[in-house]
Amino acid sequence: MELTSQGAGTYWYLPPECFETNAHGPPMISSKVDVWSVGVIFYQMLYGRRPFGHELSQENILREKTITNAQAVEFPSKPSVSAEGKEFIRRCLAYRQQDRPDVQQAFEDAYLSSANGRAGEK
């Protein structure tokens, strides 16, 4: 896994680790940042809103620490989304970077495999 300290992006789609600062410089970012973004995009496609800070400006997201305080994703009751779909989004939006799948693991997730007719394929 390649780590970089280069950070850029739209706050709604950035994971908590991108907002962390420490004495040693900017946070180290991995491809798991992209998996978080996929989770946000999936959520937004299904529910028509972002999972965290939907109504907030980027300035307010930063000031209110919306993403760093986002410990767990909540799902609206409508539309109806399968438990597997919600679990995929939960995995992508795991707060702790080490609990989140990397890009390859997300690609191989059973939810995506079954959705693409690849169930059981290796």
| Tens of pLDDT, residues 72-97 | 999 999 999 999 999 999 999 999 99
Query: Average pLDDT of 46-67?
Result: 92
Token pair for residue 114?
A: 């079954």
Q: How confident is the model at residue 44 (pLDDT cuts 50, 70, 90)?
A: very high
Give the tens place of pLDDT for each residue, 4-42: 444 456 889 999 988 877 667 676 678 899 999 999 999
Please, which residues have CB within 8 angstroms of residue 69's CB and are 6 or more apart in sequence? none
**With 80 as the cut, is the pLDDT of residue 120 above it?**
no
Mean pLDDT (whole number) for 95-100 = 94
Burial 23-39 (b: 16+ CB within 10 A, else e): eeeebebbbbbbbbbbb
Res. 109: pLDDT tops 90: yes
Q: Could you tell me the domains of the chain?
A: 11-115 (1.10.510.10)
Tell me the average pLDDT across 52-78. 91
Alpha-carbon radius of gyration of the chain = 15
CA gap 43, 74 in Å, rounded: 10
51-58 average pLDDT score = 91
